[in-house]
Amino acid sequence: MPLTEKTPVVLLTGFLGSGKTTLLQRLLAHPEMGETAVIVNELGEVAIDHHLLRRVDERTVVLGNGCVCCTLRGDLADELRDLLGRRERAEIPPFRRVVVETTGVADPAPIVYTLLSEPVVKHHFELERVITTVDAVHGLRGRESLLQAVAADRLVVTKTDLASGGELERRLGALNPTAEVLEVSFGEVDPDVLFGGEGRRLRDLPAASHAEHDGVQAHSLVFDEQLDWIAFGVWLTMLLSSRGSDVLRVKGLLDVGGSGPLLLNGVQHVVHPPVHLDAWPDDDRRSRIVFIGRGLERSALEESLTAFVRAARQ
Amino acid sequence: MCALCGVLLNDHWAEQDGGRRGRTFRVGLVNRVLDHFGLELDDWAGRVYVLRDRKGRAAVVDNLGVLWTQAAVFAGRPLDPLDPELVRALD
């Protein structure tokens, strides 16, 4: 792997008993997972014959002025730095991807924050995607389960042998329209299905959709006009500052005037550096932004952002 | 930290594009918003910003993320972009 290329990190999360360890165990049996380093919290539960399996004790460092989501996961940063050093010294087999399995009650935001902010980690690793397991028997359970589901880029509905996943899949898809929803039984899934694809396409969400879980709603906004990126940045930073605890996820493809869109992706307060894509994923070149949160009104978001963009033109 | 001037470098996601011109444009737009709350922002050497209120208080802020937090302290309330009065004022 060239030195300049960042190693992708996949975050595997899901509530206690939702089947993420089974999924990981079955995935590790595939030969193509050999070049994957795995970081887990609970070593005993995973097959231990994988040569790149590491265990961490969840250890958070609360920053002086930080909120909960801006908390550094020191354990993860240490482990990733250690993996990096050992790979460079050829003490461990080379790896091309890292899978981090979280505890069942982990909030994904501090992990995303760690990957984006820790100086060494952010230069050598990049978060490729968040995969969240939800079991068809219990569905979403509590705050952490909800945070994990809205942070997902891929939602895996498990235990569909015990309960029908259809209704849950529909609800999850409406609650987090940025994620692909897959059904997986007994962890049987091809690694390519989970780790392949670019995962950047935003599925359309009907304007009138009101998928709600525990007061959390997804709103999909579409803008015909080109958006000014600076105005958008001013607006979103202000929104996250004043209503940050209500905004759980933001993801969008923005038409800022280039040949392709600008990809925006944020989990709670933590926003990935925006990426200019070379091309749009389909013929629809309008800006599309999905907000998932509490107490946000679609019309208020739309009118406010429009006012900021227009003010920038004057 | 920049070794030459001691100013903390930052790479806030909302300020990565646009360069110097973008920064000037950003300050102009932010000031239209801040005016509604009796506040004002100046760029300081393209490195940090200085936020002021009408009572003469001033604070140095590194980036947009910190700006709104400090502005809320000066204004005595969060600065909500969805506030209908602010939206009307911008229109």
Tens digit of each residue's pLDDT (9 = 90 or more) over A171-212? 898 899 889 999 998 888 888 888 887 655 666 655 555 667
Q: Is residue A243 within 8 Å of A263, Cβ to Cβ? A: no
* Residue spans per domain, chain B: 13-90
Closest to A184 (Cα-Cα) out of A150, A151, A159: A159
Q: Is residue A76 within 8 Å of A55, Cβ to Cβ? A: no
Q: Which tens digits make up the pLDDT trace of A104-147? A: 888 888 888 888 888 899 999 999 999 999 999 999 988 889 99
Interface contact flag, B91 A242, Cβ < 8 Å: no
Chain A nearest C-alpha distance from B56 (Å): 23
Of A230, A235, A296, the CB nearest to B22: A230
Question: Residue B48 pairs with which residues in a beta bridge?
Answer: B44
User: Where do runs of H (alpha helix) occur along chain B?
Assistant: 19-35, 64-75, 84-90
**Which chain A residues are Cβ-neighbours of B32 within 8 angstroms?**
311
- pTM, whole model, 2 decimals? 0.85
- Which residues of A lie inside 8 Å of B (Cβ-Cβ)? 229-231, 233-243, 271-274, 296-297, 300-301, 303-305, 307-308, 310-312
**Which chain A residues are Cβ-neighbours of B26 within 8 angstroms?**
230, 233-234
Q: d(Cα A182, Cα A190) in Å, to the nearest integer?
A: 12
The pLDDT-based confidence of B5 (bands split at 50, 70, 90) is: very low
Domains of chain A plus CATH, in order, are 7-195 (3.40.50.300), 212-313 (3.30.1220.10)
**Which chain A residues are Cβ-neighbours of B10 within 8 angstroms?**
none
- 3-state SS assignment for residue B15: helix
